[in-house]
Amino acid sequence: MPIIPILMYHNIDNPPQGAKLRGLYVRTGAFARQMFLLRLLGYQGLSMSAAMPYLRGEKQGRVAVITFDDGYVDTLENALPVLQKNGFSATCYFISQRSGLYNDWDAAALNVRKPLMNDEQVRTWHTAGMEVGAHSRTHPRLSNCNDAELQNEIAGSKADLEALTESAVTQFCYPYGDLDERVSNAVQQAGFDAATTTRRGRVRVGDNPLLFRRILVSGSTFPHLFLLKLLTGYEDKRG
C-alpha cells in the first residue's frame, strides 16, 4: 500500500534570542537542504490539493506533501524561494482573522511575537502557485467550542480565505491538533476535502482524509533524521 509523507513546518528562520520551543524554527539553510534531498530522492513536493489524487490512490508516484502552519511572514520570505527553486508546491494554513498580526494564541508562552502574513502577502503566496489552506479564524481549541463557535471558526475561515484569494479553499488544519468527532464532522460539513492533524506518522492510501497524520520537521531534524522520518517507520511509531 502506498505511503505518503506529509511534512509539517512552522517557522523557516533562525530562532530569535530568548524564544522558547526553538524547535519550531527550521533554519533556511536546513530547509533548503531538506528540499534538495527530496528532489535528489526523486520526490515531487506537492501541496495538499495537488497530492489528493495520490492520497486517494487515484494516481501513483513518489510524492511528498509540504505544509506550513499559521502563515508566518518567514514562510513567504524564506520558504517560498526554496520551493520555487525546486519546482515544488506547498500548502500554508492561515488563521483568517489574524492577517497582518502575530501569534497571539501562544506568544506569551513562547516569549516571542511572530509576524503573520497580511492580506497582500497571502495573495502573493497564492499567486506564486502555492496553496492557501484554513487554520480557523482565531486559533482556538476547537473541542472547547460550542456548535455556533465551531461553525464560525471552521466554515468562517473558509469563507474569509475564499473571498481573499477568489479561489476555493479545500484544506483544513486543526489548531493545536485539537479535535474530536464533533470537530471533524464540522470540518466535513464545511466542505473541506481533507484535514491535517499534529499526530505523527506517514499517510497510507485509505486513511481517513479528515485525520491525516504528518511528519514533524523541527530545528533538530538533521539530514540523517530527516531521511529516517521520510523513508522508514520512525515517525509512524511516534504516532
d(CA 111, CA 117): 19
Task: Calculate what percentage of the chain has a pLDDT beyond 70.
Answer: 100
Q: pLDDT tens digit string along 62-99? A: 999 999 999 999 999 999 999 999 999 999 999 999 99
Residue 195: which of 226, 171, 222 has the closest Cα? 171
CATH class of 3-238: alpha beta
Residue spans per domain, the chain: 3-238
Q: What cell numbers appear for 214 in the block?
A: 504528518
pLDDT at 20: 93
pLDDT tens digits, one per residue of 91-138:
999 999 999 999 999 999 999 999 999 999 999 999 999 999 999 999
**pTM higher than 0.95:** yes
Q: Is the pLDDT score of 21 beyond 80?
A: yes
CA–CA gap between residue 56 and residue 208 (Å, rounded)? 10
- Cβ pair 121, 159 in contact under 8 A: no
